[in-house]
Amino acid sequence: MKISLLGGTGSFAEGLVIRWAKVGHEVLIGSRTQEKADVAAAEINDKAKEQGVDGSIVGMENGEAAKASEVVVVCLPPEYTKGTLEGISGSFTNQIVISPVVPMKFGKVVSYDPPEVGSAAIEIQNVLPDTVNVVSAYHNIPAKGLANFEKPLDYDVVICGDNDDAKAVVSKLTEEMPALKAIDAGPLEISAMIEAITPLIINMNKKHKHEFSIKFI
């Protein structure tokens, strides 16, 4: 499967890229320019080889990466997500778009700062063509944990979306990464509840110097 990560730099994207490349997916690193995409892809390829992964990791401009993919993961900063996707909306046809985006305010504590439509996932769905299926996922997974290949990811991943087939694809991609478990929480409107958990986890991580996430038992 061809998977692109728009804004695919940083520990969070790096962890997803290497883990998916390891199981044979073709991964595209999207960036604002081809030059930046090439640099990011080269750096992640080097890290992947350190993990014994010699997969297909290629850099592309964001619009071209989205156009070439079956699944698109939005790893853009929240403040740039809507504008960037509006600018490349013509690159989308019937892809599955995964949103781990969480808009937040940073002050003495971190707080949830949703857009007027209620959640980042809904805002993304509104920007893209109706033929695109948005699934929200991965909000609560620590970036450092994703990029730590020695530590099992013993977490639950809550997914939300309005298309069951799209959610099934995201669940499969999720559970290819040991030992994540995907849990379907229902329609995309539930995403606001899941996004809002992220600031709580960040505040707890800062206080306790730990990598908290969520697990349902």
For residue 66, give the nearest of 127, 131, 3, 24 by alpha carbon: 3
Predicted local distance difference test score (pLDDT) of residue 129? 98
What's the pLDDT score for residue 23?
A: 95
pLDDT for 10 equals 78
State the residue for tokens 């728009």.
6
pLDDT of residue 8: 86
Residue 134 falls in which region: left (phi positive, over 0), alpha (psi -120 to 50) or beta: beta
The predicted structure's pLDDT at residue 131:
98
pLDDT at 151: 83
Report pLDDT for 25: 97
Domains of the chain, start order: 2-208 (3.40.50.720)
* Two structure tokens written together for 134: 């948005």
Residues of the chain with pLDDT under 50: none
pLDDT of residue 166: 98
Residue 199 token pair: 């600031």
How far is 51 from 73, CA to CA, in rounded Å?
A: 22
